[in-house]
């Protein structure tokens, strides 16, 4: 297991998440949990949705194994890039021409006037997808060379761009602030592209792309493209499940009281911090190594990396869950309660956050073990598992939304995460999983969590008394 790669990736993601939280703190101070934050989050939802489905998720997981096995890597990479770039550009044009229709899909419960006010923001934000696809394509090439720092840190460029926009227009009307935020999103995307192009040149990977363009008509990569397509289609669906779940949360929250979309967003931002810097960073760093090991039929090395990563995640995610549930109120108070964000909104966000934290461990482990499925070309199995988890999520969302509101939507997501984890472990193999957890590390893990939890309870009592 390459700890250097994991920690480098984790540090980059941590830096990006910290700047993201800073962005959200400033946004909460300027706009609170208001109709304007709801408008922006709705407008930004679609580019984020497609970014995670087509770029960060499905594309990388299908492209990496295919690229590793390709005999003409430059030609293959160039052909795939052109195919996707043309498709995404056309989609962006359609959204620009018909933003009201797209916004209506996202916020079905909103009035026509509110849809019309949000539609221009949707059109602006969607162009971020074009930038982020280029970033993800270049990032996958860098991952092949086991370089993760640029991609991990580059997200901070988006956050810095949005922070700058808010600071410049902080004293303006809320409408102007959300427009400034939207343009900040696109500018941030452009900065991310530039950062990756510079790094690509430093690693001399631009020669692969130039060679691929020159020889694109002289090298036959049809079989490789067909193999990629065969992997990509189920990968799209498999990665769509958690994004559709998030989309469903936003859709259903639009029928609840004003601010519900924002409560979910702010709570999810805190939830995503440990998920990103621990689980996603680990899975991303291990994916190229495991793909290469499986490509050379070194099964022992692949499972050895998986086992070591499991215990690293166990300690870190276990501590995060305990901290996130026990210290939820101090965390939200410290991060968001200022300006237009009141103590009532803090308590509502805390309740949602605790429901999200129930699903942190299963989502983290599912991310790790599903990465193994994708590396071994079992994309179809991963898609089937994700579908079942999504169905459970949808059913529980409709059951829980009436009695629990936004809390119920977050809890439904956590329940779906547990289903995803159990079914993923079943596919990887219960025998292998139980072999991992039977080691002596399990006792150390339980003792660590017990002591850590007791310490947090005392700390929480002190902080709550201070806050009040």
Residue 309 pLDDT greater than 60, yes or no:
yes
Q: In Å, how far are 69, 274, 432, 437 from 285, measured between CA atoms?
A: 19, 16, 22, 22
Residue 1 or 455, more confident: 455
Cβ pair 241, 401 in contact under 8 A: no
* Sequence-distant (≥ 6) Cβ neighbours of residue 463 within 8 angstroms: 327, 329, 330
pLDDT mean over 324-342: 82
Residue 323 pLDDT greater than 70, yes or no:
yes
pLDDT of residue 460: 63
- In the block, residue with structure tokens 């599912």: 366
pLDDT over 70, % of the chain? 90
- The tokens describing 340, both together, are 């237009």
* Residues of the domain holding 346: 3-467
Residue 243 or 56, more confident: 243
pLDDT mean over 422-441: 82
pLDDT mean over 20-45: 83
DSSP secondary structure, 144-180, as one string: HTT--HHHHHHHHHHHHHHHHHHHHTTTS-HHHHHHH
Q: In Å, how far are 23, 282, 376, 417 from 320, measured between CA atoms?
A: 22, 15, 30, 16
Which of 44-58, 108-122, 248-262 is the least confident region?
Answer: 44-58
DSSP secondary structure, 213-264, as one string: HHTTTTS--HHHHHHHHHHHHHHHHHHHHHHHHHHHHHHHHTTSSTTHHHHH
Which of 7-21, 66-80, 146-160 is the least confident region?
Answer: 7-21
Cβ pair 242, 412 in contact under 8 A: no
pLDDT of residue 452: 67
Residue 462 pLDDT greater than 80, yes or no:
no
Nearest in space to 65 (alpha carbons), one of 50, 78, 76, 52: 76
pLDDT over 90, % of the chain? 25
Tell me the per-residue pLDDT of 383-427, one tens digit each, with 9 for 90 and over. Answer: 899 999 999 999 999 999 988 888 999 999 999 999 999 999 999
Which of 39-48, 205-214, 225-234, 353-362 is modeled with the greatest confidence? Answer: 353-362
pLDDT of residue 131: 93
Residue 8: pLDDT band (50, 70, 90) is confident
Q: How many domains does the chain divide into?
A: 1
pLDDT mean over 315-342: 83
Distance CA 154, CA 9 (A): 11
Residue 466 or 268, more confident: 268
Residue 336 pLDDT greater than 90, yes or no:
no
Tell me the per-residue pLDDT of 200-229, one tens digit each, with 9 for 90 and over. Answer: 999 988 888 887 777 666 566 777 778 788
Cβ pair 5, 148 in contact under 8 A: yes
pLDDT mean over 48-54: 69
pLDDT of residue 153: 86
Residue 440 pLDDT greater than 70, yes or no:
no
pLDDT of residue 6: 72
Average pLDDT, the chain: 83
pLDDT of residue 155: 82
Residue 294 pLDDT greater than 80, yes or no:
no
């Amino acid at each position: 297991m390459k700890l250097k790669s994991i920690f480098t990736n984790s540090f980059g993601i941590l830096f990006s998440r910290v700047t993201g939280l800073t962005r959200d703190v400033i946004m909460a101070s300027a706009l609170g949990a208001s109709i304007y934050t709801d408008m922006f989050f709705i407008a930004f939802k679609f580019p984020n949705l497609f970014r995670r489905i087509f770029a960060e998720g499905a594309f990388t997981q299908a492209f990496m194994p295919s690229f590793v096995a390709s005999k003409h890597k430059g030609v293959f990479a160039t052909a795939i890039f052109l195919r996707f770039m043309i498709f995404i550009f056309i989609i962006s044009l359609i959204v620009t021409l018909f933003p009201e229709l797209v916004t209506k899909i996202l916020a079905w419960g909103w009035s026509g006037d509110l849809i019309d006010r949000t539609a221009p923001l949707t059109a602006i934000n969607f162009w971020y997808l074009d930038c982020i696809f280029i970033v993800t394509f270049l990032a996958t090439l860098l991952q092949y060379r086991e370089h993760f720092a640029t991609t991990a840190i580059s997200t901070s460029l988006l956050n810095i761009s949005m922070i700058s926009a808010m600071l410049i227009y902080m004293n303006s009307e809320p409408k102007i602030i959300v427009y400034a935020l939207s343009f900040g999103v696109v500018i941030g995307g452009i900065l991310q592209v530039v950062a990756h192009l510079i790094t690509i040149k430093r690693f001399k990977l631009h020669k692969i792309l130039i060679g691929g363009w020159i020889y694109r008509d002289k090298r036959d990569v049809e079989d490789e493209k067909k193999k990629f397509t065969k992997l990509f289609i189920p990968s799209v669906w498999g990665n769509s499940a958690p994004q559709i779940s998030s989309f469903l949360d936003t859709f259903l929250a639009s029928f609840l009281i004003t601010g519900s979309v924002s409560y979910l967003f702010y709570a999810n931002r805190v939830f995503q911090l440990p998920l990103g810097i621990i689980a996603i960073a680990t899975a991303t760093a291990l994916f190229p190594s495991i793909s290469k090991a499986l490509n050379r039929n070194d099964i022992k090395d692949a499972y050895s990396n998986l086992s070591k990563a499991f215990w690293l995640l166990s300690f870190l995610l276990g501590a995060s869950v305990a901290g996130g549930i026990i210290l939820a109120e101090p965390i939200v108070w410290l991060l968001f309660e200022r300006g237009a964000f009141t103590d009532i909104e803090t308590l509502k966000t805390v309740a949602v956050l605790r429901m999200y934290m129930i699903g942190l461990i299963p989502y983290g482990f599912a991310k790790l073990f599903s990465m193994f499925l994708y590396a071994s070309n079992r994309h179809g199995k991963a898609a089937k598992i994700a579908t079942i988890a999504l169905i459970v999520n949808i059913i529980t969302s409709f059951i829980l939304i009436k009695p629990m509101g936004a809390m119920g939507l977050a809890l439904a997501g956590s329940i779906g995460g547990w289903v995803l984890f159990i079914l993923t472990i079943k596919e990887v193999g219960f025998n292998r999983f139980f072999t991992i957890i039977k080691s002596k590390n399990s006792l150390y893990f339980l003792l660590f969590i017990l002591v850590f939890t007791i310490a947090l309870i005392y700390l929480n009592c002190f902080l709550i008394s201070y806050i009040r």
